[in-house]
Amino acid sequence: MKQYTIASVPGDGIGPEVIAAGRLVLQAAQEVDGGFQLSFDEYPWSCEYYLQHGEMMPKDGLQILGGHDALYLGAVGFPTVPDHVSLWGLLLPIRQGFQQYVNLRPIKLFPGIACPLRDKGPEQIDFICIRENTEGEYAGVGGRLHVGTPEEVALQTSVFTRTGVERVIRYAFQVAMERPRKELVSATKSNSLQYSMVFWDEVFQKVAAEYSGVKASKSHVDALATQFVLQPEAFSVVVASNLFGDILTDLAGALQGSLGVPAGGNINPERRYPSMFEPVHGSAPTIAGKGIANPIAAIWAGAMMLDFLGEKEAAGAITQAMMGVTAEGRVLTADLGGRATTSQVAEEVATKLRTLAG
């Protein structure tokens, strides 16, 4: 039997609630499959941890996490700690330190969930966004001068390296090759960002020459955002820089009917370091502790984690069970028009999983 060690970091707000729900479903998948076993090590790193220790995670945090096969993250951020402190204290050091340079976001409308777009259903909302995840606009290069004076200056510098841009674009082409529609759109803004985005476009064109089987095109990010709303069915795979990808994937997530649904993977394709999987909804402090958070995103993130570990049948079974639950519409949380609790939805998905297994 295959053994996997998973580092669980529930984090802040609703993070502990949805990760507990996700683990319940993962346990059911493990039992049904019978061919693998997950062992979880849980770490309390969070904004509460920061208030107690003055840091979001210990100085040897990456070393601790590095011994695991994958990371399962809940949420990072709470009003008690400034967002830039929590983000740069936990999430970004993991992404950058473990070279998780691919942020993988499947955009899929599940059956039974109403899309905010008129006349758009599951057949029209089904594509993948790939976001560069370690440099670009979030490289963290910059500073402030003359702080607090009328002459104060703030500089934030984007960093685009040939290695960083080429590897994420190549990954996107490889994903496009595996899709029924072998198409890839690159998000750019080279009309105004005459250095970074022109460079991005040149690298995209160079890599495209290696993938003649993929229909490659580029679009300015503002036009792309418009098309996400007007014609989401036009897309198969989209690749974007860190900031552009962040914004586009949140827009795409809204197309899925609720931000309680989308999940994401922070991937190190070479597997030199563990990859990290998470719901993308954030910590939702206004509903934290009420037991009403939607666990679908965390459950889906768990399925993505299993798929990456090679347990594709179990991952597919979880996804099928989730879609079965949403299609029936009986056990859903309030954001999807239901009255169920977080744990009730998780239990329903686990029950559906066992039922489908026969």
pLDDT, one tens digit per residue, over 230-246 is 999 999 999 999 999 99
Question: Has residue 119 been placed in a domain?
Answer: no
- Per-residue model confidence as pLDDT tens digits over 119-153: 999 999 999 999 999 999 999 899 999 999 999 99
Question: Which sign does the torsion angle of CA 161, 191, 182, 310 carry?
Answer: positive
Q: Which residue has the tokens 């290069």?
A: 141
Q: How far is CA 310 from CA 140, 304, 307, in A?
A: 34, 10, 5
Which residue out of 4, 101, 138, 211 is catalytically annotated?
Answer: 138
Q: What is the 3-state secondary structure (H, E, C) of 327-341?
A: HHCCCCCHHHCCCCC
Please indicate, yes or no, whether residues 7 and 53 belong to a single structural domain of this protein: yes
Which residue out of 120, 182, 201, 250 is catalytically annotated?
Answer: 250
- Which pLDDT does position 155 carry in this prediction? 95
Please indicate, yes or no, whether residues 250 and 134 belong to a single structural domain of this protein: yes
pTM, entire model:
0.95
Q: Is residue 66 very low, low, confident or very high in pLDDT (cuts 50, 70, 90)? A: very high
Whether 296 and 352 have beta carbons less than 8 Å apart is answered as: no
**Measured between alpha carbons, how far is 307 from 284 in angstroms, rounded to an integer?**
27
Please indicate, yes or no, whether residues 95 and 211 belong to a single structural domain of this protein: no
The closest of 256, 262, 346 to 304, measured between CA atoms, is 262
Helix/strand/coil for 47? helix
Please indicate, yes or no, whether residues 276 and 231 belong to a single structural domain of this protein: no
Whether 222 is a known active-site residue: answer yes
What range does the domain containing 200 cover? 126-254
Which residue out of 12, 33, 50, 189 is catalytically annotated?
Answer: 189
Question: Has residue 121 been placed in a domain?
Answer: no
Amino acid at 161: T
Boundary (domain end) residue, out of 254, 276, 297: 254
Token pair for residue 166? 């080429």
- Per-residue model confidence as pLDDT tens digits over 163-206: 999 999 999 999 999 999 999 999 999 999 999 999 999 999 99
- Per-residue model confidence as pLDDT tens digits over 311-343: 999 999 999 999 999 999 999 999 999 999 999
CATH number, domain at 66?
A: 3.40.718.10
- Which pLDDT does position 358 carry in this prediction? 79
Boundary (domain end) residue, out of 254, 276, 304: 254
Whether 246 is a known active-site residue: answer yes
Please indicate, yes or no, whether residues 244 and 283 belong to a single structural domain of this protein: no
Which residue out of 246, 307, 335, 352 is catalytically annotated?
Answer: 246
Please indicate, yes or no, whether residues 268 and 166 belong to a single structural domain of this protein: no
Boundary (domain end) residue, out of 200, 219, 254: 254
Whether 276 and 70 have beta carbons less than 8 Å apart is answered as: yes
Please indicate, yes or no, whether residues 353 and 262 belong to a single structural domain of this protein: yes
Q: Is residue 308 very low, low, confident or very high in pLDDT (cuts 50, 70, 90)? A: very high
Question: Has residue 120 been placed in a domain?
Answer: no
Q: Is residue 221 very low, low, confident or very high in pLDDT (cuts 50, 70, 90)? A: very high
Question: Has residue 178 been placed in a domain?
Answer: yes
Q: Is residue 357 very low, low, confident or very high in pLDDT (cuts 50, 70, 90)? A: confident
The number of beta carbons lying within 10 Å of the beta carbon of residue 270 is: 9
Please indicate, yes or no, whether residues 247 and 268 belong to a single structural domain of this protein: no
For the segment 268-280, the average pLDDT, to the nearest whole number, is 97
